[in-house]
Structure 1
Amino acid sequence: MSLSSIIGAAGSALTASQTRIAVANLNVANADDLTYTRKTVTSAVSTTTQTLSDATILRVADSFLSKTVLKTAAAAGGDAVTDTYMQSYDAALGSTASGDDVSSLMTAFATSLSALSSSPDATTKAQLVSDASSLVQGIKSLSGEVQSLRTQANTQIETTVGTINQSLKSLASLNDQIATVSAQGGDATALEDQRDAALTTLSGLMGVSSFVTADNQLRVYTTGGDALLGTTAATLSYTASSTLGAGATYPGSIAGITLNGKDITASQTTGELGALVTLRDQTLPAQQDQLDALASTLIGQVNAVTNAGSAVPAPNSLTSAGTVSATDALSATGTLRVAVTDASGKAVGVQDLDLSSYATVGDLVTALNGVSGLSASIGSDGKLTIAATNSANGVALADDGAGISARFGFNNLLTGSGASDIGVSAKLTSDPSGLPTAALSTTTTLAVGGLALASGDSTIADKLSGLLTTSVSFAATGSQAAKTTSLASYASSFVSGAATMIAAAATQSTNSTAASDAATSRLQNLTAVNIDEELANLTQYQSQYEANAQLISIAKDLFDTLVSMVS
């Protein structure tokens, strides 16, 4: 081997050692950076010149583990969001320990109903109205919290979409920087580390698939196959509604998340974005549906009983819960008994009306005005009022199944149609003594002077007492299958089902986070810097550097000697 070859080989090795020393120092300096991957140096030998070619810096990586990290990051990101929302929902549910959950409030209401049946007096009526108010307030508040969480999720969707767009722009910028540095023959590995970290962040926000092209350009797609990052970054768009109500749904009144104009909402099932969409459109609406089923059934069942009865003494007037028109079709059959009673419950006036004779509400009003001691009218507010003309008397109704009182809601205990608007009659809240507990006599012998309403009559109170334990039909809603069960049992299963769902969300988040951490650890074990190993490498590289430097020095001395011999 010639001296020039020796000097060339040693110089090349010297340069390679310098690069290795620099890279080892860089590894040590970034040992605490979890996004940094260990760098190595490779050199190729030229067979023609017998010298080392330029050193190449490479990243230690594993494509399989990297994809696993992205997949588990998406699952962990989504599950963490779900768990956070479920914890908030758990706080709103209340607890059996404090007695403020729906099931406990239903139990308290049932206890009051039982006490009313045993002794329908002023005290038990007041307690019943109080417990009914607590129950409906608990249902209504929980419904409000469900919609509040939906609104919060909806707002967070908009924020997350903005963050995703920023991540995509960052990835596009890193792609450009990597292309520029690579074209100039520079080291792009640090930029590749940043790109991998940004991709992992994006994966936690929404599920993605990705690959790197032959020219080292990252390409990213949604799980549905839509391009997020090509030669440029795509843009997602979403504008959140200010407040969501129970009737707000997607698709419908809630706008879709669009990608370059295409609605991709339905395909978002993973990552934070997917979890937020699922919470807003499925999980929380399912809870609302169950609350609505409970509330509407409770309202219907309770009011059906109270409207079949009357307070003792009977109230001076009865007013419809909703608005009516004189032209509304009546479409009723059977007999409606109307009685005007005095303070002791004796009939002052009694008349049985054949409902099949009246085609409209106006016809019924006319007939009611024909009852002695009674007046009926539809006010300017659209409410139908039936009143005793003597302020000392009262009015009571009874029918043989036509449900006239229930149709107009004259004796409603509860108001509203679902969980979001359920309430207790304002009239009964201000005066619980007006709670119907007795039933107007329907015997054919009832005449003026006869006892129409007995003060000790608990007919309606008895029916109310058994109401919450009587089986009724519920349609399938949320996680609840269609079933025939009692109101109390449905409330209990709702609470237990919600508790199970909340616990499952916490467990799932713990498990997916552990899986994500494990995948990240496995990748880091492969790619992270081992300081002891790098320090050992530094010692070796420095020795190699010194040996090659000494070789060059010896070759130079030999060359100088040869030159002096020639001259």
Structure 2
Amino acid sequence: MGLDSALSIATGGLANISAQFALVSQNVANAGTPAYAVESSAQQDITADGQGLGVRTGPATIQVDQALQASLQQQNATVTGLTTTQTALQSIDSVLGTVGQGNDLGSLLGTLQNQFSTLLTDPSSQTQQSTVVGAAATLASGINNLSQAYSAQSQAVQNDLVSAVGTLNTTLSTIGQLNTQIIAAQQAGRSTADLQNQQNAAVQTLSGLTSIKTIQQPNGGILLVTTGGLSLPTNAGTTPFSIAGGSANPGAYYPGGGLPGVMLGGTDVTGSLTDGRIGADLTLRDQTLPTGQAELDEFSANLSSRFAGQGLSLFTDPAGNVPSGGGTPVQAGYVGYAATIQVNPQITANAALVRDGTTSITGSPTGASAFTPNPAGGPAGFTTLISRVINNTFGNDVQTGVAQPVFNTAGLGAGGTLSAPFGSASSLADYATDMIAAQSQQSAATSGSLTNEQAVQTGLVAQVTAQSGVNIDTELSNMISLQNAYQANAHIIAAVQSMFSQLLTTVGTGA
């Protein structure tokens, strides 16, 4: 082998080592980058007639387990969806109150009942009459606050849905751009490793938005479909999905009730976007939160009507009216009533009405018994109304032997499509307990599921990392080997240069 061949081989070796150093550096720098797969390049000895001529460095590649990646993508959608749901429900939990601490609806209702019982022992006490009105105002305020929490969270979810759809478009555009670059690079025989890692990161972002499947194409690109079968467009620079802003008030609903769907072109594809942040937002907006609001409206309407049915319109809307039922859908007359329920302004101005009553009741064999309010100047010790409230308004019977009208648990909400996840209770206290328990249990179940699914996600991430992630120990070992190889090639070059120098000196001396 001539000196020029040795120099050429050593120089080529240094170029190969330099390329390998660059890969090691990039791998180490991205050791903590989610979805990054370690990059490597194949090396091939170059020979001719059995004589070594150097080494050829192939384009950088990555190795990923597609099945494992698919499992992780699905798990990302599950965990992100549960996280989104948990965040929303925890904001409601903070307003629901805690049973036994006096700030939940059941406790506030019990306090009002106790104040009526105390008033029964001394109906003439103006102080106790005012205390009853104060307890009623506190209960109404608690209902208002919870209703406001539902409305605020529903609007927050609607706003987040608009933001998530924007992220969906941006991410799909990024994936589309990378698709184009990967296909071109593969056709030209160039490395696609960096581009694939960028695309994997974008796909991971996408999998947090909705549940997807990735289909690898022979040309290096990918196709994306949702688990609902919707093909996701990846044309670079487009914004295929859209959703209008909307006011998520108690009277709004989807579809057809003022809340927008997610559109792809001119087609409503809301039902095809499941799981992930978008799927969770849709479920919260269209099912979970409006169901909680509808349950609260049902409690509020029955609270008002059961008091009014005994002759005391204690809870009304701001105009002093008790909402009517019997509409279509069943809550048509009191959708969103929980947001406005208050103590009757007439009673606020005259607390003695909690003793005397506000309304005459005509007796009915299927409803309440007859009642006439205590007239002005009537007995200060009038107890008829107070007894009716304690025994019937708070009880299971509208009068002895006649059951109270049942609470609606199906056909709820402005659209009449929602159902409470519990059976119909007889008393106000039982309904309040069932309602709070159901909502608290849903939040607790979501938190429990999230903990379990996060553990699964952590396990999948560990498997992916072990299979295709960066191992710092391996990269450091490679670096040491490359350093040794670099020194060896550098010695060869130095030796060849020394030989050339000596040869030139000898030739010069001989001349």
Per the TM superposition, whether the score is higher than 0.5 is yes
TM-score, reference length from structure 1: 0.70
Corresponding residue for 1:118? Answer: 121
**Alignment correspondent of 1:285:** 290
Distance in 2 (CA, whole Å) between partners of 1:250 and 1:458 is 49
Match of 1:237 among 242, 247, 270: 242
The alignment partner of 2:186 has SS state of helix
- After TM superposition, the structure 1 stretch with the greater mean CA deviation from structure 2, 108-117 or 12-21, is 12-21
Deviations 1:227-281 (A, max 9, x none): 223454561101111x322110000111111112221112333111111111111
Q: Would the aligned equivalents of 2:215 and 2:222 in 1 still touch at CA under 8 Å?
A: yes
Report the CA distance shift for 1:461/1:416 in structure 2 as closer, same or farther (over 3 A).
farther
Where does residue 381 of structure 1 map in the other structure?
A: none
Q: CA deviation at 1:65?
A: 2.0
1:268 partner amino acid: L
Cα distance in structure 1, aligned partners of 2:165 and 2:308: 47
Deviations along 1:31-75, one digit per CA (max 9) or x if unpaired, are 344443212222456798667655232213221221122111111
Q: CA deviation at 1:524?
A: 1.7
The CA deviation string for residues 61-101 of structure 1, in whole angstroms up to 9 with x for no partner, is 22122112211111111111111111111112233465222
Task: In structure 1, list runs of 5 or more residues that go unmatched.
Answer: 310-318, 324-405, 408-414, 443-449
**Pair 1:271-2:276 in alignment:** yes
TM-score by length of 2: 0.77
Q: Does residue 461 of the first structure (1) align with residue 386 of the second (2)?
A: yes
Q: 2:210 matched to which residue of 1?
A: 206
Residue in 2 that maps onto 1:57: 60
1:494 counterpart = 2:435 = yes
Q: How does 1:310-389 map to 2 (within 5 A)?
A: 321=321
Unaligned runs of 5+ in 2: 326-332, 363-374, 398-403, 411-418
SS of the residue corresponding to residue 138 of structure 2 reads helix
Asked whether the equivalents of residues 126 and 432 of structure 1 are also in contact (C-alpha less than 8 Å), the reply is yes
1:100 partner SS: coil
Larger Rg: 1
Tell me if the contact between 2:240 and 2:265 (Cα under 8 Å) persists in the aligned partners. Answer: yes
> Could you give the per-residue CA deviations for residues 347-373 of structure 1, whole angstroms, max 9, x where no partner exists?
xxxxxxxxxxxxxxxxxxxxxxxxxxx
**Aligned equivalents of 2:73, 2:360: Cα separation in 1:** 72
2:167 aligned with 1:163: yes
The one-letter amino acid paired with 1:104 is S
Against the structure 1 CA distance between its residues 273 and 29, is the aligned structure 2 distance closer, same or farther, given a 3 Å change threshold?
Answer: closer
Aligned 1:344-493 pairs, distance under 5 A:
418-435=337-354, 437=356, 454-466=379-391, 467-470=393-396, 472=404, 473-477=406-410, 478-493=419-434
Query: What is the rounded CA distance, in whole Å, between the counterparts of 2:45 and 2:386 in structure 1?
Result: 100
Matches within 5 A, 1:26-37: 26-37=26-37
Give the Å deviation of 1:543.
Answer: 4.4
Note if 1:90 corresponds to 2:93: yes
Paired with 1:451 and 1:492, the residues of 2 have a C-alpha distance of 38
Separation in structure 1 between the aligned mates of residue 186 and residue 162 of structure 2, nearest angstrom: 36
Deviation by residue 1:505-533 (Cα, 9 ceiling, x = unmatched): 22222232332233222212222322332
CA distance in 1, matches of 2:70, 2:448: 24
Which residue in the other structure is 2:416 paired with? none
Paired residues of 1:34 and 1:524 also in contact (CA < 8 A): no
- Confirm or deny that 1:536 pairs with 2:490: no
Counterpart contact for 1:120–1:437, Cα < 8 Å: no
Say yes or no: does 1:109 pair with 2:115.
no
SS of 2:183's partner is: helix
Alpha-carbon distance in structure 1 between the residues aligned to 2:86 and 2:290: 17
Counterpart amino acid of residue 144 in structure 2: K
Q: 2: CA distance between counterparts of 1:70 and 1:204?
A: 8
Q: Find the aligned partners of 1:519 and 1:188 in 2 and give their Cα distance.
A: 25
What is the letter of the counterpart of residue 84 of structure 1?
T
Identical amino acids, percent of aligned pairs: 27
Q: Could you tell me which amino acid in structure 1 is paired with residue 250 of structure 2?
A: A
**CA 1:235–1:501 in structure 2 vs 1: closer, same or farther (change >3 Å)?**
same
Using a 3 Å threshold, how does the CA distance of structure 1 residues 244 and 211 change in structure 2: closer, same or farther?
same
Q: What's the offset of the Cα at 1:170?
A: 1.3
Q: Which amino acid aligns with 2:212?
A: V
Count of residues paired in the alignment: 455
Q: Secondary structure at the match of 1:469?
A: coil
Equivalent position amino acid for 1:470 in 2? N
Deviation sequence 1:302-344 (CA, Å, 0-9, x none): 10001599xxxxxxxxx99489xxxxxxxxxxxxxxxxxxxxx
**AA at the equivalent of 1:424:** V
